[in-house]
Structure 1
Amino acid sequence: MTSDFDEISSIQPIIIQKVSLNESVQTLPDVLAVEEPLEIVLAWKENEKWQQKSLSVTMRTPGQDEELALGFLFSEGLLLDRSEVQKVRVSSLINKVFVEVLPIVAERSKRLQRHFYTTSSCGVCGKASLEAVRQTARYPISEVTPLMHWETLFRLPQLLREAQSTFDQTGGLHASGLFDNEGNLLILREDVGRHNALDKVLGYALKTNDLPLSNKVLLLSGRISFELVQKAVMAGIPLIAAIGAPSSLAVSLAQEHGLTLIGFLRNSHANIYSGAERLV
């Protein structure tokens, strides 16, 4: 298991006033989860000259910025594998990460329609959203065969919660955890943005050449949006579980690609929305 979260840059001390009906006002020290913008910039050589293209600005918790950028590029279909990346330069002072890539990646960025679904009110119709994922998904989801025991699945939320060190201090971060089928936590990432936390997990898998994640289980600390299922599809993850609820489009995407989708995983209860056969 690994959760090398940079607590120096991800937590900000603050003095607060704590108020309750039964006690007087108290002045106490507290900590906040840091939220800062990160600009992801694509760089490539064309005719012996360096070219740059700003792809996205996302609000994130500082830490694992390289993983965040790589995971974002991969989950959006611009980056197919690690060999297409020449260098990643993170500039924390100006909140930018420069990803130097082969020219073919720049060509993909020109051809692909921008479909960075960062909010639930993006205005893109469901049919167009599903079609975009169908066109860019590289790894097929594994066949629907038993993957995990129910007893093991019910243990995952507690394991994830125990590993969320930064959440313990701030209470303000989402988490994405990747488990094997025996319930071992392989990688955990936290961020103020749920999509960023998952991008960091995927970026780590890309760096370590672990893609596709065809026999892994993804656990999300909050709700399941369409974009999170989209990212899991891109990585070939066959089973997604979450503490919260899925959206309608998230369920549709999971059903179309044959994913197992589980919501409200808490207190030894869960709702199955698709792919129950993967659970023993």
Structure 2
Amino acid sequence: MGRLTRRAPAQQWRGGESQRRVDTLAVEEPLEIRLSGEVVTVTMRLPGDDFDLALGHLLTEGVIASGEDIATMMHCTDTGDDGLPTYNVVEVAMAPGLLPRRPLVGRAEIATGGCGICGTVQVDELLTRLPHAIDRDRTTFTLSAIEAGLAAMRERQRVFDATGGVHAAALITPDGEVLVVREDIGRHNAVDKVIGWAVREGRSDLSGLGLLVSSRAGFEIVQKGAAAGVPLIACVSAASTLAVEAADRAGLTLAAFVRPPRASVLSHPDRVTS
């Protein structure tokens, strides 16, 4: 799979016995995103779909409002110790006459373990800069459509099949049709990649679509989905308290543990029908 996976020797133990073998590992490398020469963030990611990742990050962080805000994107000609291009820096240029819609700040991890005040501040900040009225989106999804979308996403997780070491995200229509699937080391990067794909396709408002995630849903996943305007997020694993609070207040439907025959819809359950 080119830059996506690498082979590594391993000593495997099974049933008290060991043997030498070769494992396939997912590649993890840094990506630096620059906007008009200024560093926006550095994130560890699975190489590939870097322009989608950059666009999705800029949109979900409120730096741009749509793809029309961007003039050009390119990989910088940085090289590694072997003299070959690393493709680990993306330079983005704003459209002529436009400035970022909010100050550029480095990506900060959000501690949500037990600080209620901090969590409330984060949710309040999210709500003040939502560009879409998600609570007015009347799109509904049948549970079978969501399950079909998750199954189709799983079938397209090629890197996960080879390594077991990456997450996936997807966008679906209300009838369960999968529009795009992206994989990444980080679940937030996978989400940025599918949103960035939509931006490149001319869609910055994802109303009427569902966002699927192969992992748990934390606040960051809800924040990104809400910034893009999706009315529904469905995840394979659990949701956090702050994710549920943010989804509820943003008017977004959040479903967790979507594993047939069960699913837990934790906010705005009226969008999910039998």
| Correspondent of 1:77 among 62, 66, 69 | 62
- Measured against aligned partners, the alpha-carbon deviations of 1:179-207 in whole angstroms (never above 9, x if no partner) come to 11111111000000010000011111111
Instruction: Work out whether residues 79 and 105 of structure 1, in 8 Å CA contact, stay in contact via their aligned partners in 2.
Output: no
**What is the aligned partner in structure 2 of residue 203 from structure 1?**
196
Q: In the TM superposition, what is the alpha-carbon distance from 1:12 to its structure 2 partner? A: 0.9
TM-score, length-scaled by structure 2: 0.89
RMSD of aligned alpha carbons:
2.1
| Correspondent of 1:88 among 61, 67, 73 | 73
**What is the aligned partner in structure 2 of residue 130 from structure 1?**
123
Runs of 4+, deviation exceeding 6 Å: none
| Correspondent of 2:45 among 60, 65, 90 | 60
| Correspondent of 2:270 among 256, 259, 277 | 277
Equivalent residues in 2 for 1:228-239, closer than 5 Å: 228-239=221-232
Instruction: Work out whether residues 180 and 217 of structure 1, in 8 Å CA contact, stay in contact via their aligned partners in 2.
Output: yes
Give the letter for the 1:16 counterpart: A
Give the letter for the 2:9 counterpart: I
What is the distance in 1 between the residues matched to 2:106 and 2:128? 12
**What is the aligned partner in structure 2 of residue 10 from structure 1?**
4
Equivalent residues in 2 for 1:234-253, closer than 5 Å: 234-253=227-246
| Correspondent of 2:175 among 171, 174, 182 | 182
Instruction: Work out whether residues 142 and 214 of structure 1, in 8 Å CA contact, stay in contact via their aligned partners in 2.
Output: no
Q: In the TM superposition, what is the alpha-carbon distance from 1:121 to its structure 2 partner? A: 5.3
- Measured against aligned partners, the alpha-carbon deviations of 1:243-266 in whole angstroms (never above 9, x if no partner) come to 111111110111011111100111
Report the CA distance shift for 1:146/1:97 in structure 2 as closer, same or farther (over 3 A). closer
Q: Which consecutive residues of structure 1, in runs of 5 or more, have no partner in the other structure?
A: 1-6, 44-51
Instruction: Work out whether residues 183 and 190 of structure 2, in 8 Å CA contact, stay in contact via their aligned partners in 1.
Output: yes
Report the CA distance shift for 1:144/1:135 in structure 2 as closer, same or farther (over 3 A). closer
Report the CA distance shift for 1:20/1:94 in structure 2 as closer, same or farther (over 3 A). same
Q: In the TM superposition, what is the alpha-carbon distance from 1:275 to its structure 2 partner? A: 1.3
What is the distance in 2 between the residues matched to 1:279 and 1:42? 39
Report the CA distance shift for 1:278/1:143 in structure 2 as closer, same or farther (over 3 A). same
Q: In the TM superposition, what is the alpha-carbon distance from 1:211 to its structure 2 partner? A: 2.5
Equivalent residues in 2 for 1:93-104, closer than 5 Å: 93=86, 95-102=88-95
TM-score, length-scaled by structure 1: 0.87
Matched, 1:191 2:176: no
Instruction: Work out whether residues 112 and 118 of structure 2, in 8 Å CA contact, stay in contact via their aligned partners in 1.
Output: no
Give the letter for the 1:242 counterpart: C
Q: In the TM superposition, what is the alpha-carbon distance from 1:115 to its structure 2 partner? A: 7.9
Q: Work out the number of aligned pairs and report it.
A: 263
Q: In the TM superposition, what is the alpha-carbon distance from 1:119 to its structure 2 partner? A: 4.8
Matched, 1:164 2:157: yes
**What is the aligned partner in structure 2 of residue 254 from structure 1?**
247
- Measured against aligned partners, the alpha-carbon deviations of 1:152-194 in whole angstroms (never above 9, x if no partner) come to 2233332221111110000000100111111111100000001
